[in-house]
Amino acid sequence: MDDNALFEKYHRLLSENIRLTEENNQLKVRLGITESEPDEDGISKTSAEESLPGEKSSDCAAFPDVTNASNSISKIKLFMSLFKGREDVYAKRWENKNKSGYSPVCLNQWRTGICGKPTISCAKCPNKAYAPMDEAVIEDHLRGKLTAGIYPMLPDETCFFLAMDFDEGDWQKDISMVRDVCGEFSIPAVVERSRSGKGGHLWFFFEQSIPAMLARKFGTAILTHAMDKRHDIRFRSYDRLFPNQDTMPKGGLGNLIALPLQKAAREMGNSEFVDENLQSHPDQWAFLSGIQKIPGDRIEGLISELCPGHELGVLKIDAEEETSKPWETRKIQLLKSDFPARIDIVRANMLFVPKVGLSQRALNRLKRLASFKNPMFFRHQAMRLSTYGLPRIISCAEETAGYLGLPRGSETELAEILTDLGIDIRFIDKTNPGKNINVTFNGQLRDEQALALEQLLNHDIGILCGTTAFGKTVVAIRLIAERKVNTLILVDKVNLMSQWKKKLSEFLIVNETLPGQDLTANKRRGRKKNTSIIGQLGGGKNTLNGIVDVAVMQSLSRQGEVRECVKNYGMIIADECHHASAFTYEQILKTTNARYIYGLSATPARKDGHHPILFMHCGPIRYRDNAKKQAESRPFDHYVIPRFTSMRVPLDSDEKEVPIQALYAEIVDNDFRNQQIVDDVLTNYKLGRNCIVLTLRTAHVELIAKKLRESVPDVVTLTGGMGVKTTREVFKGIAETPADKNLILVATGHFIGEGFDEPRLDTLFLAMPISWKGTLQQYAGRLHRLFAQKKEVRIYDYVDIQVKMLERMYQKRLAGYASMGYAAKGEDIGSASLDIIFDKDNFLPVFSQDLAAAKKEILIVSPFVRIRRTSQMIKLLQIAIGKKIRVMVVTRPAEDFKPADRSGLQEALNLLKNNGIHIVFKSNIHQKFAVMDQKIVWYGSINLLSYGTAQESIMRIESGNIASELLKSIESS
């Protein structure tokens, strides 16, 4: 018998022994036999136990007389009645080479041929056999034989308790304030000093299991209320709740918390429950038996009392949300009495608000001006992914002993709040006005550029949001000429630095001498290295001169420390400022005290939702151009050409379980798909077009380039990691390519997706799917530079219609194409047909015309069918049926839906059947399209027989080939 089998047998026998002992004790009580001396063990004869006062609950009333002197069985039963989590698994603490942690206990751990370690994790191991949490485990924990951790979230996503962890700064003051709030609202809560002694846990116990979402909302509301009384409580406290997610992560167990009263920790005075003075109660077991539990039906009411609004309180709302939903804007509610009569705010690298005279509530609310909900946390939680390492709240505020520091982008909102309250405010300007420089602009701005310049000059900080080819760089150079102060330009890539230096040399006349340079001195004989008046930092060079300099942001920071030179300029221009939420970029902007700070970006909104950081440091958008109007003003047409692929997930895989990275790997290795891309590139190359292929994987770049070189030797590849010198030589080679020689570039989107400037490019091949509109705009921007011979630009978009996740990504791209003014084209590139990308509000009139014009057949594929839209469509379809046109609808069967949704579905289906429409059921279909006469195609994210969201889009294309591909996709479903 191996060790694991013995371990399992031992625990089984120990549990049986505890059960039989308890049964014997009950029989002795009935027979009037006196209990013998209590057990002489660590449980029975402990000498330090108790915590916060509270009335006995019904559960704990079953153990009214449990004390230090009670027997082990009574203590274990009391303990397990309070600390109730998952019973099918527990975690055990381990230590190894100065490292420690907790792992779930598996009965098969390290068993040869069975245990999957270290190749696969326990969660994914098919042979995992978790040891249960039972009386034996609790006894071993209390006796100090092991340190057990409990998983609070049950499989049904409920919990019996909530715990808060405080372990930073003045945790004693934080936990005491939260406990005081609980006392104010008569909420039973008990405090335990953690096993390390460097923190504490606040425990709440419920009479019955409640949804983890509700428990966490309850804990969040308590913290939010406490922050108004002690602003020092960190937002990180929101992330230290147990359970730490509303839902169970896929394949996971949720987070765990170490159980209290572990003997070894108690011998050091830790892992015990403490009183208001954080001193251990003398009798821990007597204290536990008096704990009051919270009725589940009281929780909702308490949340409303604690936080009348959102449980997270008032936070910064990002600019896009404020614009689209102005009626939901939440203002910070403060009183004049929260502030002194006058406040002197220091404007430097940040806005420094003196704390003297401000209430705790005021400091908390002002701190929230620079704080926002982290979309990545809520996105991961909604997808049932782990949220480990993702804070719920991101804050850009900082504090010193005497000041609250807010980003400079908060100035307008801060001033409005104080002014509305009648507070006398004075800004003391400690920013660096910079050194005057003699510069003039050598060029002419277009009308829209002049308007953008005017808006920027009206403010000391702000953002210019302009599409590629708008000329943001030129506007910024004119800004330098107008401000006439020494300027530092921040970029994130070496090639961008080179582009800036080139543009500055072209558009800015600098009438300055370099430090130490004497123009009146006699020139020395011999060759002398030419020194540019435009300084740089990055690319292996440091020629900063304090006049007009360009710096790669990574070169301005070393080991987390920002170079002091960023404080020597009067103006900072942050190019591609949407990267400002990156740690290094943000630290630079937090450090600089330049009087003027401006950001440039084509896509200020970020996929991760962290763009509020950008606005806090660079200010609001002062000018935004219109992408559609820019497209209309360009002297060339804009087309997207969808190319449907036959790629599907492997037959032995469940598509729902295949992660996106695995799909990307499949795309790289798909020979048919790659050949389709190569054929399209070669076709366009032979037509005299200049092509760029963008993908996400370096291996994909090399593979496609290798195939292309079989026909065109001069294919250029561009990827990260080539080195500064090689990259410079490649860019130089591209620039020096004769105008009559076509280009084929194959690159990774991350390397060349923004900041790359080659005006000849007119055809983009999107070799790997993306979904974020900002990335799409960056990619498309490679084609939008003006060039004399450019008549139209094309984007070939490869649609993996057989894979639901990838098809959805294309549907998101459709909306992006529409916003940039692109029209759709079929395979007949020379066709003059009107193929437009529509949204849910404007597609119906044109769609109705196509239905009316159909001559033979109409096919509508709509996974969802609703009576409202069906009633609207039926009038149009009746006309077609009257003309003997065959009408077919493909949709999901009722079994695919919840019972509550089936009645409405059946009503809509009956309406279709009663009007002579043939219905075909296909389970779990995801495609959404319509085909008329096997040529007119409507394809996108709109369910044609159901209403959807405002962001949905659909394109109209005349293409027999695309119609055929779509029909095949349904037939093979």
SS3 973: coil
Residue 639 has pLDDT above 90, yes or no: yes
Most confident segment among 423-437, 532-546, 598-612: 423-437
Residue 30 has pLDDT above 60, yes or no: no
Query: What strand order describes the sheet that includes 637-644?
Result: 716-718, 744-748, 691-695, 763-766, 792-799, 637-644, 823-824
Average pLDDT rounded to a whole number, residues 304-313: 90
Do residue 659 and residue 745 come from a single domain? Answer: yes
Instruction: State the pLDDT confidence band at 109, using cuts at 50, 70 and 90.
Output: confident
pLDDT for 689: 95
Do residue 635 and residue 618 come from a single domain? Answer: no
Is there a domain that residue 112 lies in?
Answer: no
Do residue 245 and residue 367 come from a single domain? Answer: no
Paired tokens of 15 = 């549990």
Instruction: State the pLDDT confidence band at 830, using cuts at 50, 70 and 90.
Output: very low
Average pLDDT rounded to a whole number, residues 105-124: 83
Is there a domain that residue 137 lies in?
Answer: no
Instruction: State the pLDDT confidence band at 113, using cuts at 50, 70 and 90.
Output: confident
Average pLDDT rounded to a whole number, residues 583-608: 90
Do residue 157 and residue 215 come from a single domain? Answer: yes
Instruction: State the pLDDT confidence band at 517, using cuts at 50, 70 and 90.
Output: low
Q: Report the distance separating Cα 62 and Cα 57, nearest Å.
A: 9
Listed range (412-426, 476-490, 649-663) with the worst mean pLDDT? 649-663
Average pLDDT rounded to a whole number, residues 825-843: 67
pLDDT for 802: 86
* % of the chain at pLDDT higher than 90: 57
Is there a domain that residue 113 lies in?
Answer: no
Is there a domain that residue 146 lies in?
Answer: no
The rounded mean pLDDT for the chain is 87
pLDDT for 528: 47
Of 601, 625, 649, the one marking the end of a domain is 625
Residue 38 has pLDDT above 50, yes or no: no
Do residue 11 and residue 160 come from a single domain? Answer: no
Do residue 845 and residue 881 come from a single domain? Answer: yes
pLDDT for 839: 83
Do residue 595 and residue 506 come from a single domain? Answer: yes
Average pLDDT rounded to a whole number, residues 95-101: 87
Average pLDDT rounded to a whole number, residues 805-816: 90
Task: Summarize pLDDT for 873-912 with one digit per residue, the tens.
Answer: 898 898 888 889 999 999 999 888 888 878 788 888 999 9
Are 550 and 569 a contacting pair, CB within 8 Å?
no
Instruction: State the pLDDT confidence band at 127, using cuts at 50, 70 and 90.
Output: confident
Listed range (487-491, 625-629, 830-834, 913-917) with the worst mean pLDDT? 830-834
Is there a domain that residue 430 lies in?
Answer: no
Task: Summarize pLDDT for 877-886 with one digit per residue, the tens.
Answer: 988 888 899 9
Of 595, 625, 655, the one marking the end of a domain is 625
Task: Summarize pLDDT for 664-720 with one digit per residue, the tens.
Answer: 999 999 999 999 999 999 999 999 999 999 999 999 999 999 999 999 999 999 998
- Bridge partners of 860, per DSSP, are 889, 930
Is there a domain that residue 434 lies in?
Answer: no
Average pLDDT rounded to a whole number, residues 34-43: 45
Q: In whole angstroms, what separates CA 360 from the centre of its chain?
A: 31
Is there a domain that residue 387 lies in?
Answer: yes
Do residue 811 and residue 878 come from a single domain? Answer: no
pTM beyond 0.85, yes or no: no
Is there a domain that residue 423 lies in?
Answer: no
Greater confidence (656 vs 513) lies with 513
Task: Summarize pLDDT for 294-308 with one digit per residue, the tens.
Answer: 999 999 999 999 998
Do residue 726 and residue 854 come from a single domain? Answer: no
Average pLDDT rounded to a whole number, residues 390-411: 94
Average pLDDT rounded to a whole number, residues 196-219: 96
Do residue 298 and residue 324 come from a single domain? Answer: no
Task: Summarize pLDDT for 262-283 with one digit per residue, the tens.
Answer: 999 999 999 999 999 999 999 9
Q: Report the distance separating Cα 767 and Cα 797, nearest Å.
A: 7
Residue 68 has pLDDT above 70, yes or no: yes
Query: Taking the CB of residue 142, how many other CB atoms lie within 10 A of it?
Result: 23
Do residue 210 and residue 323 come from a single domain? Answer: no
Q: Where in the sequence is the domain holding 202, given as residue range(s)?
A: 41-86+153-306
Tell me the pairing of strands 918-921 and 886-891. parallel
Instruction: State the pLDDT confidence band at 384, using cuts at 50, 70 and 90.
Output: confident
Instruction: State the pLDDT confidence band at 42, using cuts at 50, 70 and 90.
Output: very low
Greater confidence (236 vs 876) lies with 236
Paired tokens of 160 = 């019996």
- Nearest Cα to 957, choosing from 764, 814, 857? 814
Residue 64 has pLDDT above 70, yes or no: no
Residue 322 has pLDDT above 70, yes or no: no
pLDDT for 835: 65
pLDDT for 743: 94
Instruction: State the pLDDT confidence band at 773, using cuts at 50, 70 and 90.
Output: confident
CATH number of the domain residue 717 falls in: 3.40.50.300
pLDDT for 51: 32
Do residue 566 and residue 713 come from a single domain? Answer: no
Q: Report the distance separating Cα 894 and Cα 917, nearest Å.
A: 17
End-to-end, the C-alpha distance of the chain in Å comes to 51
Provide the number of structural domains found in the chain.
Answer: 6
Residue 59 has pLDDT above 80, yes or no: no
pLDDT for 489: 97
Average pLDDT rounded to a whole number, residues 447-469: 94
Q: How far is CA 559 from CA 509, 584, 587, in A?
A: 36, 10, 12
**Residue 700 dihedral angles phi and psi, to the nearest 5°:** -70, -40
Q: Report the distance separating Cα 824 and Cα 411, nearest Å.
A: 45
Most confident segment among 477-491, 853-867, 909-923: 477-491
Residue 448 has pLDDT above 50, yes or no: yes
Of 625, 649, 672, the one marking the end of a domain is 625
